[in-house]
């Protein structure tokens, strides 16, 4: 099975991670195949989660570019604790539903201690996540939320190929 993604004349129309993910999910449901990402620059606000038996193919590294969205960062306004699914930040501007984020503080900053989540909704300055936090993050320890994530991710997948595209983590515009 082959599914195309692109700004026009494709099976799935779009130039973001949501469109690419829809194509990956369709191919995965069929048991595997090829996702062709047509020539364009695609803005990713979260990881594309790869599946087994998948080829993710662009139309050339200069033509198909997966680019991370510009960086967004805000300090916590209220402590965000283990088991909660929300974090209240000082300024939620720039965050958006579907965005991949990391929650940290100076005590919980590396290894297994950051919580990597997806924003599912925003109410004022409160971000709601797809699953609960697995550590405590405090205002006193400079707790913060920022959008960082791998552009492409796969967990327990096999037979995956990524070819003929550029993955640009946008270091210059990241926080």
- Asked whether residue 138 falls in the same domain as residue 161, the answer is no
pLDDT at res. 111: 65
Domain that holds residue 52: 2-69+150-173
170: confidence class by pLDDT, cuts 50, 70, 90: low
- Asked whether residue 42 falls in the same domain as residue 77, the answer is no
- Asked whether residue 65 falls in the same domain as residue 79, the answer is no
Q: How many domains does the chain have?
A: 2
pLDDT in tens, 140-160: 999 999 998 889 999 899 999
- Asked whether residue 88 falls in the same domain as residue 133, the answer is yes
The CATH number linked to 31 is 2.160.20.10
Looking at the DSSP assignment, which residues form a beta bridge with residue 4?
Answer: 36
Q: Looking at the predicted structure, is the pLDDT value of residue 96 above 60?
A: yes
Which residues, other chains included, contact 18 with Cβ-Cβ below 8 Å and sequence gap of 6+? 98
Instruction: Tokens for 126, please give them.
Output: 């409160």
Pair 172, 65: CB distance under 8 Å: no
Pair 95, 147: CB distance under 8 Å: yes
166: confidence class by pLDDT, cuts 50, 70, 90: very high
pLDDT at res. 172: 59
pTM attached to this predicted model: 0.83
- Asked whether residue 139 falls in the same domain as residue 156, the answer is no
pLDDT at res. 120: 97
pLDDT in tens, 54-80: 999 999 999 999 999 999 999 999 999
pLDDT at res. 9: 97
The mean per-residue pLDDT over the stretch 107-129 comes to: 90
pLDDT in tens, 76-87: 999 999 999 999
- Asked whether residue 88 falls in the same domain as residue 131, the answer is yes
Q: Give the percent of the chain with pLDDT over 70.
A: 95
35: confidence class by pLDDT, cuts 50, 70, 90: very high
- Asked whether residue 141 falls in the same domain as residue 78, the answer is yes
**Cα–Cα distance, 61 to 52 (Å, whole number):** 23
- Asked whether residue 133 falls in the same domain as residue 115, the answer is yes
- Asked whether residue 47 falls in the same domain as residue 106, the answer is no
Write down how long the chain is.
175
């Amino acid at each position: 099975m082959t599914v195309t993604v692109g700004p026009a004349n494709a099976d799935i129309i779009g130039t973001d991670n949501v469109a690419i993910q829809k194509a990956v999910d369709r191919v995965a449901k069929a048991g595997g195949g090829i996702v062709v990402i047509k020539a364009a620059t695609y803005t990713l606000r979260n990881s594309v989660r790869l599946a087994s038996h998948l080829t993710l193919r662009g139309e050339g590294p200069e033509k198909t570019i997966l680019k991370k969205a510009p960086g967004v960062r805000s300090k916590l306004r209220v402590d965000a604790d283990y088991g909660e699914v929300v974090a209240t930040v000082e300024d939620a501007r720039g965050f958006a539903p579907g965005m991949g984020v990391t929650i940290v503080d100076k005590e919980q900053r590396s290894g297994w201690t950051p919580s990597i989540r997806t924003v599912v909704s925003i109410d004022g300055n409160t971000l709601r996540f797809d699953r609960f936090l697995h550590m405590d993050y405090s205002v006193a320890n400079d707790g913060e939320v920022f959008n960082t994530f791998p552009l492409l991710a796969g967990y327990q997948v096999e037979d995956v190929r990524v070819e003929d595209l550029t993955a640009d983590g946008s270091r210059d515009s990241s926080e």
